[in-house]
A and B are shown apart, each in its own frame.
Chain A
């Protein structure tokens, strides 16, 4: 495609999006021509985030913690180390902290300053996680935020909000739903939602609509 565009000529027939698209393509052209990036490597990075790295990774960790008390204890002690012992999930950095929801305490994760999020466990964050309403309100009015997700907590339950202000990353271990006695890890993993691992939702209950 041609990069020889004049922005002023496009005011009437291009949306802001397509103007952005042109600028992004131009930058990739420049970086490629200068020998800084290899387009095939960019393709592979995108493909990894679209296909391999997602909340299914975190869901398997949660399901294992629900069925294996020794793993759960190790996970809460040192999240990165415990997950490192599982061959089947992507490698995590050194600083993953897993925080457990209990009947007394609900945990919720935010990054008020930008968008820090446990990518290896949950994939790329959803738009709402990175947007102003969540980032501004999660630390001040988490119950109001939860209401936006149709989630209500008991009045006297403690809410702990973890603001990810450094390179530590936080994953919520949601409570195991009732009625799942005897379920396999694979069955349980199906109940673990992305939002339940951020703390803006609960794990699904058996038989509930997804």
Chain B
């Protein structure tokens, strides 16, 4: 979706402000939110792409004015309600007032913590041969799906070169909408900075994205 989360190339957000000796969490609740997201994901309530989509669909003014973990919290709560794991009545009461829904594989126990601490695997067997090889010129499609996609706006319509082939991976555009993994070839595609930003762009800049095959046309 063409949301405010798709920020590459936007102006006006000001300076980057590094914080010396930054703590891991700025408040205890931030850690609880992170841990709940990890634990509910490991329990099988949602996949990572769906959780990203729920953050992206926060209203733009909420997205832009909320801290990072506040966005995580708002996305998590809404997603759990919409998927039927909790109800608005539960939230209003601050307690479970309606029955639970079954989870697969189920609750993350302390003994099974490893399950949430190891990164998921996203590589999948290839359903078809790769359409592109390293060195090929490709054009990022001019597409504007209103659902989840990982093709940022700033490359759409531009021509780049395939630099790496990462194999076949879970396709976020399908997985986020719970339409299955629909594995697709994944490539690193590199663009000249001036092709993206015009003649005034930094001539020493190259930018790459990791692009799934359905995002690309031969060029």
A residues in contact (CB < 8 Å) with B: 3-5, 17, 20-21, 23-31, 33-38, 40-46, 48-50, 54, 90-95, 97, 110, 112-115, 119-120, 123-124, 126-128, 130-143, 145, 148-149, 155-168, 195, 200
A36 neighbours in B (Cβ, 8 Å): 39-40, 43, 45, 85, 100, 103, 107
| Cβ-defined partner of B29 (8 Å) among A20, A126, A139 | A20
Count how many pairs of residues, one from A and one from B, have CB atoms less than 8 Å apart in the complex: 267
A136 x B7 contact (CB < 8 A): yes
Nearest CB on B from A36, distance (A): 6
- Asked whether any CB of chain A lies closer than 8 Å to the CB of B61, the reply is no
B residues in contact (CB < 8 Å) with A: 5-11, 13-19, 22, 24-29, 31-36, 38-40, 43, 45, 48, 52, 55, 64, 68, 70, 73, 76-77, 80, 85-86, 90-91, 93-96, 99-100, 103, 107-110, 112-113, 116-123, 150-152, 154, 164, 166, 169-170, 172, 186, 188, 190, 193, 196-197, 201-202, 204-212
Known: A148-B15, A165-B150. A29 touches B204 (CB 8 A): no
A26 x B19 contact (CB < 8 A): no
Assembly CA distance A28 to B28 (angstroms): 13
B36 x A48 contact (CB < 8 A): no
| Cβ-defined partner of A27 (8 Å) among B77, B109, B152 | B77
Nearest CB on B from A76, distance (A): 12
A24 x B32 contact (CB < 8 A): yes
A114 x B52 contact (CB < 8 A): yes
B110 x A166 contact (CB < 8 A): no
Nearest CB on A from B176, distance (A): 12
Nearest CB on B from A175, distance (A): 17
B154 neighbours in A (Cβ, 8 Å): 112, 139-140
Lowest 4 A-B CB distances belong to which pairs?
A: A3-B94, A93-B119, A112-B8, A33-B96
Most central of B16, B96, B116, B164 by chain A CB within 10 Å: B16
Known: A20-B70, A124-B24. A142 touches B205 (CB 8 A): yes
A135 neighbours in B (Cβ, 8 Å): 7-8
A114 x B5 contact (CB < 8 A): yes
Known: A30-B86, A31-B86. A95 touches B107 (CB 8 A): no
A112 x B6 contact (CB < 8 A): yes
A132 x B7 contact (CB < 8 A): yes
A-B contacts, 23 listed (Cβ < 8 Å): A5-B94, A20-B73, A29-B96, A38-B39, A38-B108, A40-B110, A45-B113, A45-B116, A50-B24, A93-B119, A93-B120, A93-B121, A114-B55, A126-B22, A131-B16, A136-B13, A139-B8, A142-B202, A149-B18, A163-B208, A164-B210, A165-B209, A166-B150
